[in-house]
């Protein structure tokens, strides 16, 4: 590869490109349509693309959030969440549930994805695959700052 084809950047200084290469390079990513509820029973549903399976045995799934969002605080409280696979047919509904709304708004009412049949409402029947995760291990990462 000729040297002119190499693009190097320090994330802290910006990439200088039209689109952020980090998102583009680590792709495609599965979309985890994360449903959760807080200790008072408020239900939440939101898409997270920084999601993946990290271990086969024991099966471990996880996702990351760019800030302390409702999904994160709910899972900290309830120690459980569901991951629903958002298939292409559901892309519009999935996008709609990423809206910034008040904590007590149930995003299952936005875009109208189906809710869990048992009324447990932590799953959602909309995805073709649904994984229920118990327990939580959360970690807050801090970037290396330039002095
Ligand atoms: C396709 C898609 C993927 C997303 N992936 C992420 C992600 O990986 N991390 C993140 O912090 N936000 C992501 N978002 C934005 C969140 O869904 C959005 O901030 C949402 O309001 C968070 O909801 P909550 O506060 O109920 O958890 C994504 C949005 C869309 C539409």
Domains of the chain, with CATH numbers? Answer: 20-134 (2.30.110.10)
CA-CA distance, 119 to 147, in Å (whole number)? 51
Q: Is the CB of 75 under 6 A from ligand 1?
A: no
> What pTM was computed for the model?
0.84
CA dist 4 → 14, 62, 119 (Å): 19, 38, 58
Taken as a whole, the chain contains a residue count of 147
pLDDT in tens, 2-53: 667 788 899 889 999 998 998 888 888 888 889 888 888 888 889 999 999 8
The closest-lying atom of ligand 1 relative to the alpha carbon of residue 86 is: 1
Ligand 1 pocket test target in 20, 31, 46 with most atoms within 8 Å of CB: 46
Task: Using alpha carbons, select from 134, 70, 129, 131 the residue that is nearest to residue 97.
Answer: 70
Q: Is residue 119 very low, low, confident or very high in pLDDT (cuts 50, 70, 90)?
A: very low
């Amino acid at each position: 590869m000729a040297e002119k084809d190499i693009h190097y950047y320090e994330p802290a200084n910006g990439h200088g490109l039209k689109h952020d290469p980090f998102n583009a390079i680590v792709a495609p990513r599965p979309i985890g349509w994360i449903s959760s509820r807080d200790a008072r029973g408020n239900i939440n549903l939101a898409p997270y693309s920084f999601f993946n399976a990290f271990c086969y045995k024991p099966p471990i799934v996880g996702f990351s959030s760019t800030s302390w969002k409702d999904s994160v605080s709910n899972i900290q409280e309830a120690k459980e969440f569901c991951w629903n696979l958002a298939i292409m047919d559901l892309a519009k509904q999935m996008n709609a549930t990423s809206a910034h709304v008040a904590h007590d708004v149930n995003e299952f009412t936005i875009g109208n994805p189906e809710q869990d049949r048992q009324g447990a409402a932590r799953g959602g029947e909309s995805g073709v695959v649904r994984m229920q995760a118990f327990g939580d291990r959360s970690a807050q990462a801090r970037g290396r700052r330039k002095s």
